[in-house]
């Protein structure tokens, strides 16, 4: 594992340069960060822990793509730190970038792989699809969002996968309904050998019931609250097969059919009140800085 936190310049700590930053869909943004050591070692399924500045909290984000010295993260603005991240522009710096963290996806020559992404979880799909293709698999992609305005990476997934299906809850694009419905149809035509499901916990829970019934090996990428990302703090505890595991070092990918999703969802809500307060404080800045300059 390679970890890189703040970089040491001649006189001061220098951060990680944002090379590109742009909105992709409603409340979803992408950022390309210059982090050569991370880019060199990153593999599908791994993540970064970033801290925007010295006062910021650490948040985990999946490595969505790598290009030369750059790594891409794609995130949905849901709270204080992700809204703050959305204000960054090319040329800004991120104070700390630690990674690549977590175990890489288990990619092998399985035959037919299906990769299902929901909402911001679609961010993780192209890098896994590419790795699965490179290992000689036939790859089917299924991406779903609540509405067409929230869909991301359709073109990139279309170029990478042998076949791509789109679903929206409100029917504004593709299948009218859930990615789980499309997965059922795909299984009905050609039984996959391996399935990945990545998205909100409830979506992973419901969708993995489809493959449980069909007895298809299925992996999910779990998103509990993480702090250090290195197995030290215990905040990312999840229950898998009745045992406690740390998602940051034992995962984030686990056997979907062994995960206790109800415990995961309950633990994700631990700090709801504090998160609400932090966002309110961040949003109340009246000086036009968007909270970038001072955001206690």
Ligand X SMILES: Cc1cc2nc3c(=O)[nH]c(=O)nc-3n(C[C@H](O)[C@H](O)[C@H](O)COP(=O)(O)OP(=O)(O)OC[C@H]3O[C@@H](n4cnc5c(N)ncnc54)[C@H](O)[C@@H]3O)c2cc1C
**From candidates 143, 197, 236, 279, binder to ligand FES by CB under 6 A:** 236
Nearest-approach distance from CB 152 to ligand X, in angstroms: 10
Q: Count residues binding ligand FES (CB under 6 A).
A: 12
Per-residue binding string, ligand X, 265-294, x by CB under 6 A, is ---x---x--x---x---------------
Beta bridge partners of 114: 140, 195
Structure tokens at 4: 């890189």
Stretch that binds ligand X, among 78-86, 160-168, 177-185, 204-212 (CB under 6 A): 78-86
**From candidates 234, 244, 266, 270, binder to ligand FES by CB under 6 A:** 234
Tell me if 108 sits within 8 A of 134, measured CB to CB. Answer: no
Stretch that binds ligand FES, among 157-165, 183-191, 222-230, 253-261 (CB under 6 A): 222-230
Instruction: For residue 100, state whether it binds ligand X (rule: CB under 6 A).
Output: no
DSSP symbols for 114-163: EEEEEGGGGGGHHHHHHHHHHTT-EEEEEEEESSGGG---HHHHHHHSSE
Instruction: For residue 226, state whether it binds ligand X (rule: CB under 6 A).
Output: yes
Count each helix (H run) and each strand (E run) in the chain, helices first.
9, 19
95 binds, among ligand X, ligand FES, none (CB under 5 to 8 A by kind): none
Q: Which residues, numbered 11-40, are part of the site for ligand X (CB under 6 A)?
A: none
Q: Which is nearer to ligand FES, 227 or 265 (CB)?
A: 227
DSSP symbols for 46-104: -EEEEESSTTSPPEEEE--EEETTEEEEEEE--SHHHHHHTT--TT-EESEEEEEESPP
* Ramachandran angles phi, psi of 195, nearest 5°: -130, 135
**From candidates 15, 72, 82, 166, binder to ligand X by CB under 6 A:** 82
Instruction: For residue 229, state whether it binds ligand FES (rule: CB under 6 A).
Output: yes
CA dihedral 53, 59, 60, 66 (to 10 degrees): -30
Q: Which residues bind ligand FES (CB under 6 A)?
A: 226-229, 231-236, 246, 248
């Amino acid at each position: 594992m390679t970890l890189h936190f703040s970089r040491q310049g001649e006189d001061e700590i220098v951060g990680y340069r944002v090379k590109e930053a742009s909105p992709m869909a409603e409340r979803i943004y992408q950022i390309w960060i210059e982090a050569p050591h991370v880019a060199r070692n990153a593999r599908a399924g791994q993540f970064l822990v970033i801290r925007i500045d010295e006062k910021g909290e650490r948040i985990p984000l999946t490595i969505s793509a790598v290009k030369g010295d750059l790594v891409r993260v794609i995130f949905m603005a849901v709270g204080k730190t992700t809204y703050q991240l959305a204000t960054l522009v090319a040329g800004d710096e991120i104070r700390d970038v630690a990674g690549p963290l977590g175990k890489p996806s288990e990619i092998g020559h399985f035959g037919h792989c299906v990769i299902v992404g929901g909402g911001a979880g679609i961010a993780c799909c192209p890098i896994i699809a590419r790795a699965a293709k490179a290992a000689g698999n036939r790859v089917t992609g299924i991406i779903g969002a609540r509405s067409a305005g929230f869909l991301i990476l359709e073109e990139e997934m279309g170029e990478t996968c042998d076949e791509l299906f789109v679903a929206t809850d409100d029917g504004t694009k593709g299948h009218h309904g859930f990615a789980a419905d499309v997965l059922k149809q795909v299984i009905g035509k050609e039984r996959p050998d391996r399935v990945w499901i990545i998205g909100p916990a409830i979506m992973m829970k419901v969708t993995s019931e489809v493959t449980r019934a069909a007895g298809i090996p299925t992996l999910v990428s779990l998103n509990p609250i993480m702090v250090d990302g290195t197995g030290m703090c215990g905040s990312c505890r999840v229950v898998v097969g009745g045992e406690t595991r740390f998602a940051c070092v034992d995962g984030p990918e686990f056997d979907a059919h062994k995960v206790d999703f109800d415990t995961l969802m309950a633990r994700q809500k631990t700090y709801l009140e504090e998160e609400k307060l932090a966002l309110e404080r961040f949003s109340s800045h009246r000086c036009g800085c968007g909270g970038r300059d001072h955001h206690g």
